[in-house]
Amino acid sequence: MPTDIKAEYVQQEQFEELINQKKPVVVDYTATWCGPCRLVAPLIDQLAADYQGRAEVVKIDLDQNKGNAKQYSIKSIPAVLIFKNGQEVDRIVGRATYEEFSNALDKQL
């Protein structure tokens, strides 16, 4: 299994087009200064590798995309949102296990 696959950072301009795909999209709201975000990051990258082709897994830097964070009422991070057909279908806030993320994503596949 390739381990060089990682969740890419996206900007606001790409976001709307991305979440309106047919396949589920996992969005990790993160920031460089956030300690718990650094603990979740490898799990999100693992998700990107494991679900390649079945789901999109991306990250959004909170500091660079404040408007997007406000639009989706992100009040604390890490926050992982799952979108399907442009709609938010699940949200996991705070530290979570890989199983919690993968189980939430599996429900959308």
Catalytic residue annotation: 34, 37
Q: Give the span between the Cα atoms of 102 and 70, in whole angstroms.
A: 26
Q: Give the span between the Cα atoms of 74 and 68, in whole angstroms.
A: 9
Q: Give the span between the Cα atoms of 89 and 20, in whole angstroms.
A: 13
User: Which residue stretches of the chain are H helix?
Assistant: 12-19, 35-50, 66-71, 98-106
